[in-house]
Amino acid sequence: MFKKILIANRGEIACRVIKTARRMGIKTVAVYSDADRDALHVEMADEAVHIGPPAAAESYLVIDKIIAACKQTGAEAVHPGYGFLSEREAFPRALAEHGIVFIGPNPGAIAAMGDKIESKKAAARAKVSTVPGHLGEISDAKHAQVIAAEVGYPVMIKASAGGGGKGMRIAYDAKECAEGFQLARSEAKASFGDDRIFIEKFIIDPRHIEIQVLGDKHGNIIYLGERECSIQRRNQKVIEEAPSPLLDEKTRRAMGEQAVALARAVGYDSAGTVEFVAGQDRSFFFLEMNTRLQVEHPVTELITGVDLVEQMIRVAAGEPLKMKQADVKLNGWAVESRIYAEDPYRNFLPSIGRLTRYRPPVEGPLGTGVVRNDTGVFEGGEISMYYDPMIAKLVTHAPTRLEAIDLQAQALDAFAIDGIQHNIPFLTSIMQNAVWRSGKLSTGFIKQEFPEGFVPRVAAGEDLETLVAVAAAIDHQGNTRRRAISRQMGGPSVRFAAHRVVAVGSLAQAVQVEGQIGSPTIITMLNDEGAPQKRLTLVSAYWPGEPLWQGTVDGRTVSVQVRSLLNGHDLAYRGIAAKTHVYTAREAELAALMPIKAAADMSKYLLCPMPGLIKAVHVTEGADVKAGDPLAVVEAMKMENVLRAERDGIVKSVKAKAGESLAVDAVIMEFA
């Protein structure tokens, strides 16, 4: 077994590898760029080596720098994580020339499967079901339109060397095909240094299901069940689960055996994933093979009990697999949410900055399930514009699918992040979505369920009662504490009215509050005549100023995020964001008379939706634009975002030009 390994990666996956290596008694070496000097993976590793500027092309993607770091520290092997150099055939070959072991598949398997065009040809030879399409290279946008017409719309335009949702576009007509081809090729060049593109038929209402395979250097290959990854946005996975609610045992076995056949055909000898697009009728077609550890590997680990990172290390060291296919048993259900630094209220545009608060839920057993959080950040750390916007992967495991979903919802409610925008409100909304909970999924789920973009859930029913009760309990505890402050002025003690009015947004609910600090708080809902309607008992160890109210409401476990407002609190619960104020009856009457400040009219401006680099400006001063016309392209976190005209108009002035870095809400252009 290796004594020391180097992790040629950053962020949460570097931290994940370090944890397993530490448990195995293996020393670890981290590498870092200027932007990651204070990163968590640098702190966790036994040693760390600086490898260059923030840009990945000058640091994490430079093979010679990784080899030099291995020689400097005496690392015997390298784990590539995912992304960066993990699927570059040249990387393990270069390592081998210097006597360094690559913790991953052999270069031949990477070459055969890493190129999506060649992998489809190999899959066809191995008698694996494949999607109809054109596997030759495509020279330009006009050629792409010809090919797409032959295949038949809609089509998927994909980078041959792609991954992680980069360099992918769906086109429903010739115009979208030409535009998608240019964008996919540009993203592919920037992300992978390879701008080759291919086109295949896009399956209507598809599901994305992948099989985890594991092979060793002695010819043994097994599959570890499947993962459902259909909840995607812009071809980027958002929520994954294992197993899939679609598959039966017969289909699972058929997919698994095809995945193993493909892996065997290319001599695969590590952890890898064979991805399929599946129809609602359980038909399935080979999509691609990822010759690396997947981002979503934790859900497989939780339902099988297999540490995939450990297996990769043992296989790389020459050990045979200790398990056979018959030993693989699927236990319970696991759900993973990817927590991204992006603003769901602004069409999920990237958000960067400092994590002024980062308080994940407690990991470990919870009720009948388990909570796990894989992360590479810490409170006070910075989310950089140079890398992927992932903050953490929150994973829950329970005996059944709905139990795992409910545990995930509870854990998301308990995940407090401030300083940047993040997608937790969106994720918690999905956990309450009836279609998601039913398991009747497709890759079009987000577009179908959120056609106008993300809109927070509206407080109603039991959720509204919970927010009212928690707001009243927080206010009551604050009042009770203030009554106990020593050295107050003499005279009669202040008496706080037990009857209060809780305003949740525009809704108002009269309540009666009882209880002391250290004992349950009783909240009684009152009707318009002041008569009792419903009585709720709240138990919590919450202390004013904490970012999270955790406790029980009538025996139900509840977590509500709490942020202070002027004379109130901003509460977040189950995808609901609600400004709450607790008044006396007279205060409520006066508050209802207060004018509402209208937001400034910015409809005549195109604002930069996130901090980023202006890649292109498509219009000039005086130009007529139509709704939907592209106006500018902004790049952030390796993704190019096309900003389009919302309505017809005339460009009055252009305030920015290509090459400039802009802050969020900076003016790009003004309309007449």
Residues with a catalytic annotation lie at: 288
- The secondary structure of 469-520 as a DSSP string is HHHHHHHHHHHHHHHT-SS--SSSPP---SEEEEEETTEEEEEEEE--TTS-
Question: Are 322 and 420 in contact, with CB atoms under 8 Å apart?
Answer: no
For residue 107, what are its two tokens?
Answer: 């270069």
Cα-based distances in Å from 182 to 27, 186, 187, 200, 481: 45, 6, 9, 16, 62
| Number of Cα atoms under 13 Å in the Cβ half of residue 662 | 25
Q: What are the CA-CA distances from residue 494 to residues 490, 543, 566, 583 (Å)?
A: 10, 21, 22, 16
Between CA 613 and CA 325 the distance in angstroms is: 49
Cis before residue 389, ω within 30 degrees of 0? no
Cα of 545 vs its chain's centroid, Å: 28
- Sequence-separated (6 or more) residues with CB below 8 Å from residue 543: none
Q: Mapped to the 3 state alphabet, what secondary structure does 25-76 carry?
A: CCEEEEEEEHHHCCCHHHHHCCEEEEEECCCHHHCCCCHHHHHHHHHHHCCC
Task: Enumerate the β-bridge partners of residue 454.
Answer: none
Q: What are phi and psi of 336, to 5 degrees?
A: -125, 135
Burial class (CB in 10 A: 0-12, 13-18, 19+), 104: buried
SS3 call for 356: coil
How far is 224 from 325, CA to CA, in rounded Å? Answer: 8
Structure tokens at 604: 């005549």
CB 554 within 8 A of CB 537: yes
- Give whole-number Cα distances, 89 to 57, 76, 93, 470, in Å: 17, 19, 7, 56
In the DSSP assignment, the letter for residue 345 is G
Pair of tokens at residue 641: 């975002």
Contacts of 628 (CB under 8 A, 6+ apart): 644, 645
| Residue 559, phi-psi category: left (phi > 0), alpha (psi -120 to 50), beta (remainder) | beta
According to DSSP, residue 12 is labeled H
